[in-house]
Amino acid sequence: MDFIVQVVNGLGMGSIYALVALGYSMVYGIVQLINFAHGDIIMVAAYIIFISMMMMGLPLWAAILLCVVLSALVGMLIERVAYRRLLVRNVPRISLLITAIGVSIFLQNLFQLIFGSDAKPMQKFFDLPALSVFGVSITSTTILNIVTSVIMMICLQLLVGRTRMGKAMRATSEDAGAAKLMGINTNHIIALTFAIGSALAGVGAVLYCNTYQQIKPIMGSMLGLKAFVAAVLGGIGSIPGAMLGGYILGAAEGLTTSFISSNLTDAVVFGILILVLLFKPAGLLGKNVREKV
């Protein structure tokens, strides 16, 4: 019974990893960029909630809406300022990777300069009763995290697979040059992809604040790395794969904390990354792609 409880609790945290991993997968699927600054967008979004609720006194619904909208704008701003010229000039991928790391460090230090390095307390947003299923008590926070992440994945899958915008995204992903010839503004599509991924990070920030009730400027660093591992595990570029990877990672963390040691959770996470890269580099739901030499 304790095993099941820890797996379910792990799925709650894994849902947050999954939402961040969706952003990684979307950006990589369009421009083959590992945006290591994506985890820090959750940190930015968390401070937006902190400012809007704790300092400005806005109601919860307004704070969440503001968080999601501003997170999307931050993602578009980062794409416009840090990445667009590099993408247009088709620079080596290592240059984009270094730029992403630089943006991450910049955001962390900027928010430490503004708010200090101490953790800020947050209130619990949703105080709902726990649910008992077959004798297993599931907290409202875990239920909310899982349900929200599933809804976000379904909406994103429908957006990419069933709309004109999604068709333009898939065309840009397949061949950006051909997409331009067909009249698709690839710059707008890339900016929109960053906006959607960052909006999902904003939703993840709401769930994170509700789960842990504290924020700090470096919170996005390890969270982003673990979400990246989740994206690789599920198959980076795959929307269902990002979700699956997040859930597996969360469950593995929960079981490690409960039955082995909380000091080894990070080791287990990155051990999973090494195993995936060794035995199934494309991920669980990813596709092997041959490159012509």
Q: Is the pLDDT of residue 161 over 50?
A: yes
Q: What residues have CB less than 8 Å from 20, skipping those under 6 apart? A: 38, 39, 42, 200, 201, 204, 223, 224, 227, 230, 246
Q: Mean pLDDT score of the chain, rounded to an integer?
A: 86
Band of pLDDT at residue 1, cut at 50, 70 and 90 = low
Band of pLDDT at residue 287, cut at 50, 70 and 90 = low
Q: What residues have CB less than 8 Å from 268, skipping those under 6 apart? A: 252, 253, 256, 260
Q: Is the pLDDT of residue 21 over 80?
A: yes
Residues 89-103 have pLDDT tens digits of: 777 878 888 898 999
b/e per residue, 225-255, with b = 16+ CB within 10 A? bbbbbbbbbbbbbbbbbbbbbbbbbbbbbbb
Distance from CA of residue 206 to its chain's centroid? 12
Q: Domain 2-279, what architecture? A: Orthogonal Bundle (1.10)
Q: Say how far apart CA 259 and CA 182 lie, in whole Å.
A: 55
Band of pLDDT at residue 12, cut at 50, 70 and 90 = confident
Higher pLDDT, 48 or 257: 48
Q: Say how far apart CA 97 and CA 81 lie, in whole Å.
A: 15
Q: In the prediction, which pLDDT does 137 show?
A: 76
Q: Is the pLDDT of residue 212 over 70?
A: yes
Q: In the prediction, which pLDDT does 291 show?
A: 45
Structure tokens at 16: 């947050």
CB atoms within 10 A of CB 181: 8
Band of pLDDT at residue 143, cut at 50, 70 and 90 = confident
Residues 48-91 have pLDDT tens digits of: 999 998 888 889 889 999 999 999 999 999 999 988 888 777 77
CA Rg, the chain, in Å? 19
Mean pLDDT over residues 258-280, rounded? 86
Do 43 and 284 touch, CB atoms closer than 8 A?
no
Higher pLDDT, 237 or 113: 113
Q: In the prediction, which pLDDT does 289 show?
A: 52
Band of pLDDT at residue 293, cut at 50, 70 and 90 = very low
Mean pLDDT over residues 107-133, rounded? 85
β-bridge partners, 34: none
Do 126 and 226 touch, CB atoms closer than 8 A?
no
For the chain, the domains span 2-279
Do 179 and 56 touch, CB atoms closer than 8 A?
no
Higher pLDDT, 292 or 201: 201
Closest CA to 243 of 153, 162, 116: 153
Amino acid letter for position 129:
P
Q: Please give the full DSSP string across 233-277, using - where no structure is assigned.
A: HH-TT-HHHHHHHHHHHHHHHHHHHHHT-GGGHHHHHHHHHHHHH
Q: Is the pLDDT of residue 166 over 60?
A: yes
Q: Say how far apart CA 7 and CA 189 lie, in whole Å.
A: 38
Lowest mean pLDDT among 30-44, 118-132, 199-213: 118-132
Q: In the prediction, which pLDDT does 105 show?
A: 92
Pairing of strands 214-215, 131-133: unpaired
Q: Is the pLDDT of residue 112 over 90?
A: yes
Band of pLDDT at residue 110, cut at 50, 70 and 90 = very high
Q: In the prediction, which pLDDT does 131 show?
A: 76
